[in-house]
Amino acid sequence: MYPVWQFPAIGSALVIAFIASFHILPSHLATSAFWFNVYVENKAYKQNRPELLEFIKKYVLTILIFSFVFGSLSGVGIWYSITVSNPKGISALIHNYVWGWATEWVFFIIEVVAIYVYYYTFGKVDKKTHLTIGLIYALSAWISMIIITGIIAFMLSPGKWLKTGGFFDGFFNPTYVPQLLMRTSFMFAVAALYAIVVAATLKNKEVKSFIIRKASLWGIAGTLLGSGFFVWYYKALPDAAREVAGMTPLIPAIMPHIVIGSLIVLMLWFIFTLIKPNWAKLVPGVLAILLLLAGIFSAESMRERVRKPYVIDHYMYSNQIIANDMAAKHVKSNLAAIDAQGILHYAYFVPAGLRDITDSNMLQAGKVIAQIECSACHTLQADGWLRPLPAMVKKAGLSNVDDAQALIGFLNAFPYMPQFAGTEMEKKALAVYLVSLYK
């Protein structure tokens, strides 16, 4: 076990959620925008409309700055935050998918080189070569999505991998195809939103309305198809995930409303810009992107929540304890060892003097147990943002140690919580700590 990374008040899980949700915008823009670019550039050459190229130059610069500065920074941010908050989860992913990532990085490098070459060879190489460079970018960016989606989907629905441990058994898992198609569709809506914002700043009215009309159509198609694939994706979720998806303590009732609401407003925005392209302005365009961000945050957050209590479904709990044997990989569940030794002995990093519980250190020991086993999903402070434990204790009415200890004993009766692992004495210490939070 690694040391626990507790982020004050916000909670480590939400730190990841903020960075990762933001990252969706630049990453999906990076994977989609060049399809639109190549399409417009092709039109410019075929119909001999060089004025369209003005848009492309501006659009590529936007992608370069937004995707390759903010996107790259937030991408690295995801790696940092997931590595410190869930090192064992990351270790499991690396052990299984390091070649997936290596392949993805190859395509990412092609992407980075291609966008710079594309930008700086404008008008300097022949049209066909320039279009080919654009296509190389578009394809390699999308291939990186093809790979990353496999790994993300694996965590939610590892499918046959749980038995075989096979790379492709986990990669081509039950939610892979619908999720890839959903992301592919929605990425065109992201490209369209940005294209409208960039085109809104163009002076040439004719170019502006041409681009905005086309982008709006791409946006409408992307949103409609993406919503359709979402339904398929939802149906492909493991039964347990669909079961917890309906539980309001896990998924606040407002979340699905934000997702559906943002999709409806986006559709209306695309329809509006299709009908009145010249009325499209910068500020509402940016607001539409922010609204999409709210929708993304809720949707991704729901995807993360339905995976509970696991970080890798039916393999590792969110608190990094391995829940089930994995014979194919010679990995044993940690539960029996922790129950026998006690979590305070099993965990490598425990403050001095707290490994053995006595009457005088019981409260402190209980707190450390909560940090190790509960803080992945609960902040410990009362004013914490992520299901603060004091509020949970209050909700469950845990005003005395016996009740608290009984509840800890069947924590996994809540389908979204892992079972408690540790000795009876540790259960008691945790109960004492929980009751100390009761106000």
Q: Give the residues lining the site for ligand HEC (CB under 6 A).
A: 249-250, 308-309, 318-319, 370, 373-374, 376-378, 387, 392-393, 395-396, 408, 411, 416-418, 420, 434
- At residue 383, the 3 state secondary structure works out as coil
Which helix (H) or strand (E) segment is 314 a member of? none
Q: Least Å distance between CB 431 and ligand HEC?
A: 9
Rounded Cα gap, residues 342 and 423, in angstroms: 5
Q: Least Å distance between CB 393 and ligand HEC?
A: 6
Rounded Cα gap, residues 425 and 284, in angstroms: 59
Q: Compare residues 106 and 411 and give the one whose CB is closer to ligand HEC.
A: 411
Asked if residue 385 lies in contact with residue 375, where contact means CB atoms within 8 angstroms, the answer is no
Q: Least Å distance between CB 288 and ligand HEC?
A: 31
Q: Compare residues 69 and 406 and give the one whose CB is closer to ligand HEC.
A: 406
Q: Least Å distance between CB 294 and ligand HEC?
A: 21
Q: Compare residues 47 and 248 and give the one whose CB is closer to ligand HEC.
A: 248
395: tokens are 């909700």
Asked if residue 103 lies in contact with residue 69, where contact means CB atoms within 8 angstroms, the answer is no
DSSP assignment, residue 311? Answer: E
Q: Least Å distance between CB 240 and ligand HEC?
A: 13
Q: Compare residues 41 and 304 and give the one whose CB is closer to ligand HEC.
A: 304
Q: Least Å distance between CB 235 and ligand HEC?
A: 23
Q: How far is CA 59 from each of CA 40, 55, 66, 120, 215, rounded to the nearest angstrom?
A: 11, 6, 10, 14, 12
Rounded Cα gap, residues 272 and 261, in angstroms: 16
Q: Least Å distance between CB 247 and ligand HEC?
A: 8
Q: Least Å distance between CB 238 and ligand HEC?
A: 16
Rounded Cα gap, residues 369 and 248, in angstroms: 27
Q: Least Å distance between CB 253 and ligand HEC?
A: 12
Rounded Cα gap, residues 56 and 43, in angstroms: 11
Asked if residue 218 lies in contact with residue 33, where contact means CB atoms within 8 angstroms, the answer is no
Using CB atoms within 10 A of its CB, is residue 275 exposed (0-12), middle (13-18) or buried (19+)? exposed
Q: Compare residues 353 and 415 and give the one whose CB is closer to ligand HEC.
A: 415
Q: Compare residues 143 and 404 and give the one whose CB is closer to ligand HEC.
A: 404
- At residue 309, the 3 state secondary structure works out as coil
Q: Least Å distance between CB 250 and ligand HEC?
A: 5
Largest CA distance in the chain: 84
Compute φ and ψ for 326, nearest 5 degrees: -135, 85
Rounded Cα gap, residues 428 and 409, in angstroms: 10
Q: Compare residues 103 and 364 and give the one whose CB is closer to ligand HEC.
A: 364
Instruction: State yes or no: cis peptide before 309, omega within 30 of 0.
Output: yes
The set of residues, in sequence order, having a beta carbon less than 8 Å from that of 127 and lying 6+ positions away, is 45
Q: Compare residues 226 and 238 and give the one whose CB is closer to ligand HEC.
A: 238
Which helix (H) or strand (E) segment is 169 a member of? helix 167-171
Q: Compare residues 194 and 310 and give the one whose CB is closer to ligand HEC.
A: 310
Q: Compare residues 119 and 414 and give the one whose CB is closer to ligand HEC.
A: 414
Residue 334, CA atoms < 13 Å, CB-side half-sphere: 22
Rounded Cα gap, residues 297 and 35, in angstroms: 25
